[in-house]
Structure 1
Amino acid sequence: MVFEIQGKFALITGGAAGIGLAYTVELLKNGLGGVVIADIDGLKGSEAVDYLNKKYGANKAVFIKTDVTKADQLEAAFKLAISTFKKLDLVINNAGIMNDANWELEIAINCNAVVQGSLLGMKYMGKNNGGNGGVIVNIASILGLQELDGCPIYVGTKHFVVGLNRSFGTPYYFNLTGIKFLTMCPGVTDTPLISEASKFALQGYPDIGKVLAEGLGSLPEQRPEHVAIGMLKLITEGENGSVWVAEGGKPIYEVQIPERTSLRKN
């Protein structure tokens, strides 16, 4: 199913800066009709909207301060999209943190809020609820496809996103809602994480900050714009339930999750 960006309307969480803002810019450049940016940072959100509306046209972007861990605030962002644009076609659940030092918040943002955003997307876009269907992209990470000793809880949250999306991306949900679920797994993109790794590592373990920095440093780096270009391809061409990697500034590629096999003899 090819999804045309032209004239569509989107909601992006964590869209005020970094990769989230890069997604917004790339989509507006390619004809997105409008976007609601939901972000906890009020200052960056206002700055982003001012910039986007000057560059791409008045009222193309709307900001709402949103703590994605609060279900009522997240739903308010969806309601704003509907009231502003009269429809919603695309949701990117991008908000996320790497912070094993505060793993309760990490799970709340990386897992719980992604579930909530997915369910709200189905509520407001699903054909079974009077919507027109659409696309939901949930952001995992390259670490949703591998292990890394320096941030085991973060890795676990991103494996969660991959499993969640592959399950929502089955024919049952698509036939019911008309919504295509896609997973983006960016590689290392926000390079300051490497230099500040000791702040975000799981606490109480010797040299864990160094271990995390070395683990992240072993992975190829890229700019947010590289991921954003890949996001455009993912949204327009990706098949329902598919999982894609954007790493090292190279073109994105789809990964196939191996089928279960048993290595143990009965």
Structure 2
Amino acid sequence: MQVEHKTALVTGGADGIGFACAKELLRNGAAHVAILDLATSPGVESVRKLNTEFGEGRGIFVVCDVTKDSEFEAAFAKTFEEFGGLDIVVNNAGIANESMWESMIDVNLKGVVRGTILGLRHLGKDNGGKGGIIVNTASIFGLEPSAWSPVYSAVKHGVVGLSRSFGATYHYEKTGVRVMTICPSFTRTNFVVDGGSDFGPFVDRGLAMKDIMQQPLQKPEIVGEALVEIIERGESGSVWISENSEPVCEVLIPKRFELIASSRMQN
């Protein structure tokens, strides 16, 4: 799918990776973008910046807590009301707080589940929609363990599993909606730069931050560019890594039965 002339909805879109994704979508010709975020976020100012750069009315800010069904459903309805349709859903909202792990599960996993289900209901051809694309933001730690953030890693693994499952051929053929995953590596966001992550009681925070700050940090704009490329050429169910400012690349995850067959052949 080409981004040009399409309408997108981005959760957690007021700043960081979400704002970079919204901006890059408009830069590549998207007609409209709705950014969803908390009332306490800089959403109003973020939309003002988008409309100043790309044209009045190109973006809207919708207050939405992705842990609340009613607000999420209302945000989808508002997007359709304002723009007359929807083509792309980016479930990006997330927090990093091991001490509040239940909230992290609610936002990072349950919020993505809600956004995916709403996206399928509104975009799915089986529900009268015209098809479309859902991209869910996981993390490099959705593909490998994180000693510093075990619960964060767990929920991001969940996002990968959810997206691959809804991205399966069965669902795509029925809905016409491609579901994909983007896994950013260390990115220059407030959580990383300002040390905003809470690592919980089992981790030495100083040691964790020292390790993290030694990692190469990419700009959020790199992830935004990767998102557009995924939308334009990714297959349903695919998983992609955006890492170290390098071109986005697809992760090839072997199938279990193929691994078994290969093992038997070697024996």
TM range (shorter): over 0.9
Instruction: Decide whether the 8 Å contact of 1:198 with 1:209 is kept in 2.
Output: no
In 2, are the aligned partners of 1:68 and 1:113 still within 8 Å (CA)? yes
SS of the equivalent of 2:14 reads: coil
Ranges in structure 2 where 5+ consecutive residues have no aligned partner: none
Number of matched residues?
A: 259
SS of the residue corresponding to residue 42 of structure 2 reads helix
CA distance in 2, matches of 1:111, 1:192: 20
Q: What amino acid does structure 2 have at the position aligned with 1:186?
A: P
Question: Structure 2 vs 1, CA of residues 89 and 199 (structure 1 numbering), >3 Å: closer, same or farther?
Answer: closer
Q: How does 1:104-253 map to 2 (within 5 A)?
A: 104-190=102-188, 192-194=190-192, 197=195, 200-203=198-201, 205=202, 207-253=203-249
For residues 208-245 of structure 1, give each alpha carbon's deviation from its aligned partner in whole angstroms, at most 9, with x where no partner exists: 31343244335321000111111110111111110000
Tell me, in whole angstroms, the C-alpha distance in 1 between the residues paired with 2:153 and 2:48: 35
**Between 192-201 and 134-143, the greater mean CA deviation after superposition:** 192-201
Q: Read off the aligned partner of 2:93 and give its amino acid letter.
A: A
**Could you tell me which residue of structure 2 aligns to residue 101 of structure 1?**
99
In the alignment, residue 234 of structure 2 is paired with which amino acid? G
Paired position in structure 2 for 1:61: 59
Per-residue deviation, 1:259? 3.0
Task: Please give the root-mean-square deviation of Cα atoms over the aligned residues, in Å.
Answer: 1.7
- Structure 1 unaligned residues grouped into runs of 5+: none
When residues 215 and 257 of structure 1 are mapped into structure 2, their CA distance, relative to the original with a 3 A threshold, is farther
Counterparts of 1:136 and 1:214, CA distance in 2:
35
User: SS at 1:105's partner residue?
Assistant: helix
Letter in 2 for 1:228: G
Deviation by residue 1:38-90 (Cα, 9 ceiling, x = unmatched): 10045511001111111111111111111111011011110011111111100
Cα distance change on mapping 1:82 and 1:209 into 2, 3 Å: same
* One-letter amino acid of the structure 1 residue matched with residue 52 of structure 2: K
Give the secondary-structure state (helix, strand or coil) at the position aligned to 2:95: coil
In the alignment, which of 73, 76, 91 is matched to residue 75 of structure 1?
A: 73
The alignment partner of 1:181 has SS state of: strand
State the identity as a percent. Answer: 41
| Residue correspondence of structure 1 range 44-59 to structure 2 within 5 A | 44-59=42-57
The aligned counterpart of 2:6 is 8
Aligned CA distance change for structure 1 residues 47 and 73 (closer, same or farther; 3 Å): same
Map of 1:86-97 to 2, 5 A cutoff? 86-97=84-95
Quote the Cα distance in structure 1 between the aligned partners of 2:75 and 2:110: 16
The alignment's TM-score, normalised by the length of structure 2, stands at 0.92
Q: Distance in 1 between matches of 2:64 and 2:163?
A: 23
CA contact (8 A) 2:17 2:189 kept: no
TM-score, with normalisation over the residues of structure 1? 0.92
- Shift of residue 101 of structure 1? 1.2
Q: Distance in 2 between matches of 1:191 and 1:68?
A: 20
Look up the SS of the partner of 1:200 in the other structure. Answer: coil
Deviation by residue 1:25-44 (Cα, 9 ceiling, x = unmatched): 11101110101111004551
Question: Who is 1:21 aligned against?
Answer: 19
Which position in structure 2 is the counterpart of 1:259? 255
